[in-house]
A and B are shown apart, each in its own frame.
Chain A
């Protein structure tokens, strides 16, 4: 849809006849429409605005607790009602009132403009005709030769009246009529443009479609929205997968600890994404979803804040040093939270890790896959990791771990293994994960 086609002011050439002709041929010759039609349209718009306002009021009364309509059905009905302030539905009547006001104001001037322009046009037409007659009369029918007298015996006499006087007077009248027409016409143009601007100004509410910078913003917002959805989905998948793997790999404590860490981080990401979906995009994210997300983040809730504190405390330090220090503090907190969250039992597990051989107990892990259903699907990656690890067993414990992490984590492996190593280091005396190049 194109933009508004604005009315343009009438500009006239300097030549009188050309200017008068421009007045007579201007398009449109007079303001289109009638004041009645504008008033009628404004009335319809105002009626609609009032009807919309009344309907919103009726719905608001039903939505209110003290509504006359009570009962279970009324309660169900209330659940489908939206807050008009949140959806901006309350701005619809104002928009229609804005249209109506613009049209009514224009209508109030239209009759005057039309009669002024009609009158000025008539004056231009008649004065132009007069001017043309006088100009034709003042001009000689044929060129005179002053040397020849007619009759030849008559003495030379000067003109009694200047033959151009009447022509100049007609020109003056015609020019005045032209100026009057231009003034009247441009006064109408001003009113019409004022009406157009008033209609356009209605679009300053929050109802308009995104366009220009807003469109770009909306596009970014749309992309971000999709990203948030995808993040929530992927994080949810990772969280569930790693939580399952953590359980399945309990016989292999280093992997279990790492999967627990990954699961917790993923739960945190999913919680943030779901909160954003709920608050910003009003998606159907239940409190149950948020509760489960939050549950998954418990081991890292405190470490997150500790890491932030660490980051603030390191103001002025180098970037690398900052990240290392924050990571170390974060990891220390992970260890303490793991112990704190799971209690003495966790301490026993962690203590047991020190003496555990860094080699998977494949039989124990495989037993968990024997059950039917989705657990098998979730465990496909774990099984593949186990196979890879088993194939690499002769290359030593570090090769086994490296192969497993490459399969399960892919490109994210180095980062996550590094974080987990730091965490394990801070818990104290645990076997470190061996992904090359990550742990200094």
Chain B
């Protein structure tokens, strides 16, 4: 199936990295030691933040999975485009 291909591989790579990074940060924001609550030394405000962060653990888990999946898909696409370009460039030289 033919069709025009118009893609900025670097932008796609950056997006993939951003998405995976966001997923990792979203995941870490509720873990002991790295969570948002741990950024605050006030014990009661820390507890409030931890409670509220915990209170959307289900949705956050879904988003982490989604961002990871989309990020990996974007990364795979960027790699495939880059490899194709490399192969075409190599073939053109010979």
Contacts and interface: CB of A to CB of B under 8 A. Distances in A.
Q: A and B, one complex?
A: yes
B46 to A, nearest CB: 9
A99 B12 CA distance: 30
A96 B5 CA distance: 37
Given A68-B6, A207-B59, A208-B56, A37 B41 contact: yes
Interface in B30-72: 36, 39-45, 47-52, 54-60, 62-63, 66-67, 69-70
Contact of A51 (B5, B12, B18, B48): B18
A192 B29 CA distance: 22
A89 B63 contact: yes
B55 A77 contact: no
Given A41-B39, A68-B7, A72-B3, A3 B57 contact: no
Nearest to B49: A199
A38 interface: yes
Contacts of A175: none
B80 interface: yes
Contact of A55 (B19, B55, B56, B77): B19
A34 B19 CA distance: 32
Interface residues of A, number: 54
A70 B5 contact: yes
Given A87-B62, A88-B59, A195-B45, 14 more contacts: A4-B47, A7-B44, A37-B39, A44-B39, A55-B19, A55-B67, A58-B18, A68-B6, A69-B7, A69-B8, A89-B66, A207-B59, A209-B56, A211-B55
Interface of B: 1, 3-8, 12, 15, 18-19, 22, 25-26, 29, 36, 39-45, 47-52, 54-60, 62-63, 66-67, 69-70, 73-74, 77, 80-81
22 contacts: A3-B51, A4-B47, A5-B43, A7-B44, A40-B39, A41-B36, A41-B40, A55-B19, A55-B22, A59-B19, A69-B12, A70-B3, A71-B4, A87-B66, A103-B40, A106-B45, A196-B44, A199-B45, A203-B52, A208-B56, A209-B58, A209-B59
Q: Which 4 A-B pairs have the closest CB atoms?
A: A71-B5, A41-B39, A207-B56, A33-B41
